Chain A
Amino acid sequence: MEHTENTPELEKLPLGPDDFSPATAGEKESLVVMRESINFWADGFRRLRKNKIAMVSLFFILLIVIFAYVLPSFWPYTYDQQIKYSENLSAFEYGKTELARIEAGESVFPHICGTDKLGRDFAVRLMMATRVSLTVGIVCSICVLVIGATYGAVAGFSGGLVDDIMMRFTDILYTIPDILLIILLSITLKPRILALAETPGFEWMQKVGANLIAMFIVFALLYWVGMARITRSQVLVLKESEYVTAARALGAGNGRIIRKHLLTNCIGTLIVTTTLQIPAAIFTESYLSFLGLGVSAPMPSLGSLATDAVKGMNTYPHLLLLPAILISVTILVFNLFGDGLRDAFDPKLKN
């Protein structure tokens, strides 16, 4: 009888015998709290993909890279090809001989951005200039990464007197206004490297462009200081961690610990700092070119294209505006992408 008395109470509860049956496989899965383990890279890229600004910048960076490295090979003109009677054309205009060829039924590729005062197609010069600026930016940043990370890692790892001396040296370099030395170094090194490229055994330098190499060296010599400081501060923290002690207990040497444990663990910071170095190098290169101390003719760089156009800017403003916009956009998208990378891979570095 007790049983029947309780029945109304039980009916109020939304429970049936089915609720006590064993869970199905699908139900079990929905209850698992653990997610699949995500490694460092996947996690970073997941965060990066969510960042709209960074993805748009990445898209623009890809566009700029295609514009600089792929398009010139398909372009019917070369950057130093001078077309007679086609000087100072504005966009989509044709020169005298070209008009004659069109009348004869030939097809002439249009000068999308016009030509300069020597009759060179300006579109392809812009592409080559972007290529030069990008190459300077990327190669310099890699040089800075190699020198700075090595220096900083050694200093931080050694500690003590070695660290003190090495860091005093960077402190002094850091206080020196870099632009003064960059200007001096670039005029000192350039003739020497140009001469070196003439001597046998160094012909490969001419392929790369001797004055580009001078640029790389100048930037690498001065800009590694920031990278060294950042790497050192990271290494100082990391070297106290347990896994370093464990590696040491297992008999790993200093070189192995630096390479395998310390540098790999601050790789996020290193990538972010290197990416943010690229726009800085492009900035300085264009600046030097503007002062007439950068990459020399006939090789164009975005800065030198802008300088050349200043004199005739009233008559041919597009020759000035196009490189100016390209430099600014390139620096802008690299900065924005670098910020995005930082937020994704190294949130601690913010501010």
Chain B
Amino acid sequence: MGKYIVKRIAMGILSVFIVATLTFFLMNLVPGGPFVAEKSISKAAQEALEAKFGLDKPLLQRYTTYMTDFLHGDMGFSLRQRGRTVSDIIFSKFPVSARLAGIAVVVALCVGIPLGCISAYNRGKLADNFIIVLGTCGIAIPSFISSVLLLYTFGSWLKILPTMGLNDAVSYIMPVTALAIYPTAYITRLMRSSLLDVMGQDYIRTAKAKGLSSFMILFKHALRNALLPVIAYVGPMLASLMTGSFVVEKIFTIPGLGREFVSSITNRDYTMIMGTTIILAALVIAANVIVDILYKIIDPRIKLK
């Protein structure tokens, strides 16, 4: 077990390292630089700026400098937002995104799991069919479509919800809904199929024969095993929330990390691109590693490789 954990963590760190390396060389392949867009500055000033941030050095040298700095916890200064360090910006924007994603996760779990159970318990009946249709539609609608449609319906047509920012509790409703639709639909489908699978097992029949109520069977016996695939989905769910947050933050003008990432790419803000990519990738990879390890601890039936 210990060996597996060490191996899994080592592979996670390797993945983060590969992401960092790939990103570094890819972003330097992109034509244009951080200071090209500014027409107001002279060529000499531009060169001076590049020298200040070390952009005039050869690529490989910059790579090694960046990596050693990063390992020392220094992500450098933002090239476009003068005077602010990258870690500063990330730490100020991250809580916004994290809160949004966290609420979306809670909503997805609290809605998806019961819906899946209801669906499985009423297999083939009207409620089941209704939930299946909802789930299938939820998976088919991209998050940017749902956010734009929500914005149009509740923001500008009915005018009952604020269209931008995250100033009060009400303004969370639309972004969270838009973010949570896909994971909710996915969890519902996952929960339904895994619960149906578990309900066909012998030990459930034994529990029924013992005379347990269906409520007890669900909570004492079925749910524990049926929840395993949902736990395994937590990693991919974070990745999909991140994908969603890029557009949701853009549409609802929320000052979060996702918007920072997209704008840093269009601005060629090299240090910001590196910082946000590494942090986002590390988060998703860490979640995956933790889930993988937990999964083996929770379910001893899974063989350790």
Given contacts A287-B247, A313-B156, contact A179 B142 (CB under 8 A): no
State whether the Cβ of B68 lies closer than 8 Å to any Cβ in chain A. Answer: no
State whether the Cβ of B86 lies closer than 8 Å to any Cβ in chain A. Answer: no
Given contacts A179-B242, A313-B148, A328-B142, contact A172 B30 (CB under 8 A): no
Complex interface bits, B173-200 against A, C-beta within 8 A gives 1, otherwise 0: 0000000000000000000011001000
State whether the Cβ of A156 lies closer than 8 Å to any Cβ in chain B. Answer: no
State whether the Cβ of B111 lies closer than 8 Å to any Cβ in chain A. Answer: no
Interface centre among B30, B194, B266 (most CB of A within 10 A): B30
Q: How many residues of B contact A (CB 8 A)?
A: 49
State whether the Cβ of B207 lies closer than 8 Å to any Cβ in chain A. Answer: no
Chain A residues contacting B280 (CB-CB under 8 Å) are 177, 180
Residue of B nearest to A182 (CB): B243
Complex alpha-carbon distance, A48 and B148, angstroms: 36
Interface of B is mostly: helix
Interface of A is mostly: helix
Please state if B152 and A320 are interface contacts (CB–CB under 8 Å).
yes
Please state if B19 and A331 are interface contacts (CB–CB under 8 Å).
no
B242: which of A177, A192, A314 is its contact (CB, 8 Å)? A177
Query: Shortest Cβ distance from A340 into chain B, in angstroms?
Result: 12
Chain B residues contacting A188 (CB-CB under 8 Å) are 26-27, 29-30
Please state if A328 and B145 are interface contacts (CB–CB under 8 Å).
yes
Residue of A nearest to B268 (CB): A187
Chain A residues contacting B145 (CB-CB under 8 Å) are 306, 324, 327-328
Please state if A317 and B144 are interface contacts (CB–CB under 8 Å).
no
Residue of B nearest to A332 (CB): B140
Complex alpha-carbon distance, A180 and B242, angstroms: 9
State whether the Cβ of B281 lies closer than 8 Å to any Cβ in chain A. Answer: yes
Query: Shortest Cβ distance from B288 into chain A, in angstroms?
Result: 6
Chain B residues contacting A331 (CB-CB under 8 Å) are 140-142
Please state if A184 and B18 are interface contacts (CB–CB under 8 Å).
no
State whether the Cβ of B122 lies closer than 8 Å to any Cβ in chain A. Answer: no
Q: Chain A interface residue count: which class? A: 35 or more
State whether the Cβ of B14 lies closer than 8 Å to any Cβ in chain A. Answer: yes
Residue of A nearest to B12 (CB): A175
Interface centre among B27, B265, B273 (most CB of A within 10 A): B265
State whether the Cβ of B284 lies closer than 8 Å to any Cβ in chain A. Answer: yes
Chain B 247-305 interface residues, beta-carbon cutoff 8 Å to A? 247, 250-251, 261-262, 265-266, 273, 277, 280-281, 284-285, 288-289
Chain A residues contacting B143 (CB-CB under 8 Å) are 287
Chain B residues contacting A168 (CB-CB under 8 Å) are 11
Please state if A324 and B148 are interface contacts (CB–CB under 8 Å).
yes
A184: which of B11, B27, B246 is its contact (CB, 8 Å)? B27
Please state if B15 and A184 are interface contacts (CB–CB under 8 Å).
no
Complex alpha-carbon distance, A108 and B77, angstroms: 60
Query: Shortest Cβ distance from A260 into chain B, in angstroms?
Result: 32
Please state if A175 and B265 are interface contacts (CB–CB under 8 Å).
no
Please state if B242 and A187 are interface contacts (CB–CB under 8 Å).
no
B265: which of A171, A184, A314 is its contact (CB, 8 Å)? A184
Chain B residues contacting A283 (CB-CB under 8 Å) are 142
Chain B residues contacting A70 (CB-CB under 8 Å) are none
Complex alpha-carbon distance, A292 and B262, angstroms: 10
Complex interface bits, A265-306 against B, C-beta within 8 A gives 1, otherwise 0: 000000000000001000100110011100000000001001
A176: which of B19, B31, B243 is its contact (CB, 8 Å)? B19
Complex alpha-carbon distance, A172 and B246, angstroms: 23
Complex alpha-carbon distance, A176 and B21, angstroms: 12
Complex alpha-carbon distance, A172 and B242, angstroms: 19
Chain A residues contacting B12 (CB-CB under 8 Å) are 175
Chain A residues contacting B152 (CB-CB under 8 Å) are 313, 317, 320-321
State whether the Cβ of A61 lies closer than 8 Å to any Cβ in chain B. Answer: no
State whether the Cβ of B239 lies closer than 8 Å to any Cβ in chain A. Answer: yes
Chain B 9-55 interface residues, beta-carbon cutoff 8 Å to A? 11-12, 14-15, 18-19, 22-23, 26-27, 29-31
Chain A residues contacting B148 (CB-CB under 8 Å) are 306, 310, 313, 320, 324
Chain B 122-170 interface residues, beta-carbon cutoff 8 Å to A? 136-137, 139-145, 148-149, 151-152, 156
Chosen A-B contacts, 30 in total, with CB atoms closer than 8 Å, are A175-B11, A175-B284, A175-B285, A176-B15, A176-B18, A176-B19, A177-B239, A179-B242, A179-B246, A184-B22, A184-B27, A184-B265, A188-B26, A279-B140, A283-B142, A287-B247, A290-B247, A310-B148, A310-B251, A313-B151, A313-B152, A321-B152, A328-B141, A328-B142, A329-B140, A331-B140, A331-B142, A332-B137, A336-B136, A351-B193
**A residues apposed to B, CB below 8 Å:** 168, 171-172, 175-181, 183-185, 187-188, 191-192, 279, 283, 286-287, 290-292, 303, 306, 310, 313-314, 317, 320-321, 324, 327-329, 331-332, 335-336, 351
Contacts A184-B277, A291-B246 known; 8 new A-B pairs at CB < 8 A: A175-B284, A179-B242, A184-B22, A287-B142, A287-B243, A324-B148, A332-B136, A351-B194
